[in-house]
Amino acid sequence: MIFDTIVAKTTANGMSAINLIRVSGSDSVAIVNQIFKGPNLNKQKSHTISYGHIHNNEEIIDEVLISIFKAPKSFTAEDVVEISCHGGNFIANEIIKLLIANGSRLAENGEFTKRAYLNKRLDLTEAESIMDMVNAKNMNQLKIANAQLRGDVYNLVESLQNQILEIVANIEVNIDYPEYDDALEITNEIIIPKTEELIVKIDKILREAQTGQIIRDGIKTVIVGKPNVGKSSLLNTLLKEDKAIVTDVSGTTRDLIEAELNLDGVILKLIDTAGIRVTDDIVERIGINKTKKAISEADLILLVLDQSEILTDMDKDLLSLTKDKPRILIGNKMDLGSKLNVIDEHVINISAKNNVGIDRLSSEVKKLFIDEKLLTSDYTLVSNTRHIGKLEEVKLALNQALKAAKDEMPIDMVEIDLRKAWTSLGEITGEFSVDDLISNLFSKFCLGK
Ligand SMILES: Nc1nc2c(ncn2[C@@H]2O[C@H](COP(=O)(O)OP(=O)(O)OP(=O)(O)O)[C@@H](O)[C@H]2O)c(=O)[nH]1
Ligand SMILES: [Mg+2]
């Protein structure tokens, strides 16, 4: 595909030693050459670097290095020129202005990656993984992003698509070429076990995706409890910093306090909340409402109780408010004794103030959310919410195909649902056109000879 030539600064704004400006499109080399004093760029080979200066006909703007990547061996699969200039926004902006004046246009957000996709250099999952790589904050996140960039999700989806295609192709051949007796006559009896097998596979991928998603996006963890029980102290101890104000006055925390914690490669998105109680204070009441909303949106609740007191009505309310959520009960202030009366749920005893028992809490969180086997394996983890949503659609369509087959519906009715499953899979990678399906389909058979 031929597109116009686009330009953007690829490094972040602000002060730095170097900036990188990327130009992509069939005119990129010629455009840069017009504002470059140095070797003639039009004559340079691909994957070479040239030294020289960018000028505006009157002044030298900067001393630069120019890297040339000729199509298709470039990030976008088009001719790409990268200008390494000096840092600071002024120089980069001047160079970009010159590039625009000479025939390129400012790229939109993500447009280089979009071109890589449109030029079939990357599939959608690989394109999406680039953002995940940039955002990665630990090794596990990076591992997932790398696997996706390597094409692991693509391969997984393609293999599922092929299994469906085989059935669909066979059905089509049965219908269109009844005289072609080399092709297996597909019946509902054959479709049922094949579809069941696919559903089992997708279920497994979806189960593993939960871990993938947690590694990618973190666990939204809300610390709740009655006032003064030590919620903010727990936040601070977990973070190893004095993030939240701690006092012995009930109602110290009024607003939500958010922080991120890396727990051995698993991100906890921690939220400290206002202690819940009945109050006339308007600010505190708003805080308490926010706490309730945070509870409803949480992946995990850390419900803090006070070991030094017996269970109060407020504790009981909180126990019932959070009963349908994944939660961990924490008995804080264990240094002050254990008066907490029986709860028939496991309570982890800690002292937030004295940093005791925090390891036990960490391992409980991991036990609840992380399948250790998955963390250490190289298994492809589907982790992107969009991919998971599409896989749910695939599962639904396959279940409909299975039901139709079991109800002994005509085979072309079953095929409709199978095609739907195939298309939803294709939407994950961006390869879902019916034309592709048809040409794939017939390439599997040596028909028309
Ligand atoms: N003895 C003891 N005191 C603690 C412990 N953890 C917290 N405290 C004390 O309990 C008091 C309240 O602590 P906070 O962390 O502010 O409690 P909170 O739950 O955030 O309170 P609100 O924000 O008012 O809802 C402070 O005086 C802390 O020093 C502990 O493990 N042992
Ligand atoms: Mg607090």
Which domains, from first to last, does the chain contain? 6-118 (3.30.1360.120), 124-449 (3.40.50.300)
How does pLDDT run across 336-361, given as a tens digit for each residue? 988 877 677 889 999 999 999 999 99
Confidence class for position 65, pLDDT limits 50, 70, 90: very high
Amino acid at 418: L
User: Are 75 and 69 a contacting pair, CB within 8 Å?
Assistant: yes
Of all ligands present, the nearest one to the C-alpha of 306 is 1
| Residue 341 alpha carbon to ligand 1 centre in Å | 20
pTM of the model: 0.72
At residue 56, the pLDDT reads 95
Task: Centre a 10 Å sphere on the Cβ of residue 367 and count the other Cβ atoms it contains.
Answer: 11
How does pLDDT run across 254-302, given as a tens digit for each residue? 888 999 998 877 889 999 988 877 777 887 788 788 888 889 999 999 9
* 3-state helix/strand/coil string of 110-139: CHHHHHHHHCCCCCHHHHHHHHHHHHCCCH
At residue 448, the pLDDT reads 38
Q: Which atom of ligand 1 is nearest to the CA of 304?
A: 19
Confidence class for position 441, pLDDT limits 50, 70, 90: low
pLDDT tops 80 at residue 223: yes
Share of the chain above pLDDT 90, in %: 54
- Ranking 30-34, 91-95, 152-156, 249-253 by mean pLDDT, the lowest is 249-253
How does pLDDT run across 184-219, given as a tens digit for each residue? 788 888 999 999 999 999 999 998 888 888 888 889
Q: Return the SS3 of 3.
A: coil
Query: Crossing angle, helix 124-135 and helix 411-429, to 10 degrees?
Result: 40
Q: Measured from the CB, is residue 307 less than 6 Å from ligand 1? A: no
How does pLDDT run across 103-127, given as a tens digit for each residue? 999 999 889 998 998 898 989 899 8
Q: Measured from the CB, is residue 309 less than 6 Å from ligand 1? A: no
Handedness of CA 152, 158, 160, 163 (dihedral sign): negative
pLDDT tops 70 at residue 442: no
The rounded Cα 420 to chain-centroid distance in angstroms is 25
Q: What is the token pair recorded at 13?
A: 């704004």
- Give CA–CA dist 203/201, Å, rounded: 5
Q: Measured from the CB, is residue 247 less than 6 Å from ligand 1? A: yes
- Give CA–CA dist 442/446, Å, rounded: 7
| Residue 123 alpha carbon to ligand 2 centre in Å | 47
How does pLDDT run across 300-339, given as a tens digit for each residue? 999 999 999 888 888 988 999 899 999 999 999 999 988 8
Q: Measured from the CB, is residue 212 less than 6 Å from ligand 1? A: no
- Give CA–CA dist 325/405, Å, rounded: 38
| Residue 317 alpha carbon to ligand 2 centre in Å | 18
User: Are 251 and 275 a contacting pair, CB within 8 Å?
Assistant: yes
Q: Measured from the CB, is residue 331 less than 6 Å from ligand 1? A: no
Pick from 381, 383, 363: which is nearest to 131 by CA?
Answer: 383
- Protein residue closest via CA to atom 16 of ligand 1: 246
- Give CA–CA dist 387/160, Å, rounded: 14
Please provide the average confidence, as pLDDT, over all residues in the chain: 88
Higher pLDDT, 440 or 127: 127
At residue 274, the pLDDT reads 86
- Ranking 78-82, 339-343, 402-406, 436-440 by mean pLDDT, the lowest is 436-440
Q: Measured from the CB, is residue 125 less than 6 Å from ligand 1? A: no
Pick from 401, 347, 32: which is nearest to 188 by CA?
Answer: 401
Residues in the chain: 449
What are the φ and ψ backbone dihedral angles of 269, each rounded to 5 degrees?
A: -95, 95
Mean pLDDT value across residues 217-242: 93
At residue 447, the pLDDT reads 43
Mean pLDDT value across residues 144-170: 90
C-alpha R_g of the chain? 29
Of all ligands present, the nearest one to the C-alpha of 246 is 1
Determine which helix (DSSP H) or strand (DSSP E) holds 360, and give its type and residue range: helix 358-369
pLDDT tops 80 at residue 383: yes
Confidence class for position 143, pLDDT limits 50, 70, 90: confident
At residue 35, the pLDDT reads 97
Pick from 230, 220, 227: which is nearest to 318 by CA?
Answer: 227
- Protein residue closest via CA to atom 9 of ligand 1: 230
Of all ligands present, the nearest one to the C-alpha of 234 is 1
Which of 239, 246, 249 gets mutated to test ligand 1 (max ligand atoms within 8 A of its CB)? 246
Give the start-end residues of each E strand in 43-172: 48-55, 60-69, 80-86, 105-106
Share of the chain above pLDDT 70, in %: 93
Q: Measured from the CB, is residue 335 less than 6 Å from ligand 1? A: yes
Determine which helix (DSSP H) or strand (DSSP E) holds 300, and give its type and residue range: strand 300-306
At residue 449, the pLDDT reads 39
